[in-house]
Amino acid sequence: MAKSEATIRCPWCPAGDSLYEQYHDEEWGVPEHDGLRLFEMLNLEGAQAGLSWRTILGRREGYRAVFEGFDPAKLIRWNEEKILGALQNPGIIRNRLKVRGVIKNALAVERHFGGDLELFARFVWSFAEQPIRQNNFVQMSDYPARTEASDRMSRELKKMGFTFAGSTICYAFMQAVGMVNDHSADCFRREPVKKLGAKVSL
């Protein structure tokens, strides 16, 4: 999406970083209901823990390739050899706990949702408000790190055996997939995303 230099974006989006700008302009905050995409994003947000989102965003295609499109049906069949192979792949951040965490999350989807990603999608969306909450933040200090809703999501995911699912990660996930509209009050994407959120039926 080509925009002029005068375009105002959210304060977390660095001006002039084309990868960040494309993600912000086309994906961030847009309501996402596809279970596979939601599972992918939850794992990518977990991979970000302790790192910048830019680090993960720049490797997203690598993650998709290594983790077989984040398809839980494939991931639950991984053995130790597959895990060790992933840990040697430079296309991802080679953190042992995070790599194993993706497999644990796939097993949790299988165990609690029978591998049905539509049921998983309904579950995570049950933590969103109806209508979608429209926040009115302006600067970075306005944004919370967590909310009551992300606390509840985190507790439930952890009970199911999901890893790297703390409340801060869950709130970042909720922001990314449109469970809240956190585009800043002056961001050019705020109103378009608000209209999309108005169409969401939970």
At 110, which CATH number?
A: 1.10.340.30
| 2 assigned to some structural domain | no
48 near 95, Cβ under 8 Å? no
Confidence label for 173 from pLDDT (cuts 50, 70 and 90): very high
| 10 assigned to some structural domain | no
Active site residue 78: no
Active site residue 45: yes
| 147 assigned to some structural domain | yes
In the chain, the number of structural domains is 1
Task: Please give the residue range of the domain that contains residue 184.
Answer: 21-198
Active site residue 12: no
175 near 182, Cβ under 8 Å? yes
The mean predicted confidence, pLDDT, of the chain is: 95
For residue 83, what pLDDT is reported?
A: 97
For residue 120, what pLDDT is reported?
A: 98
| 12 assigned to some structural domain | no
Q: What are phi and psi of 9, to 5 degrees?
A: -115, 175
For residue 6, what pLDDT is reported?
A: 73
List the catalytic residue out of 28, 32, 45, 125.
Answer: 45
Predicted TM-score (pTM) of this structure: 0.95
For residue 201, what pLDDT is reported?
A: 78
| 9 assigned to some structural domain | no
Distance, CA of 197 to CA of 174 (rounded, Å): 13
Query: Does 85 score more than 60 pLDDT?
Result: yes
| 194 assigned to some structural domain | yes
List the catalytic residue out of 27, 53, 68, 156.
Answer: 53
Q: State mean pLDDT over 111-120.
A: 98
Report how far Cα 163 is from the mean position of its chain's Cα atoms.
14
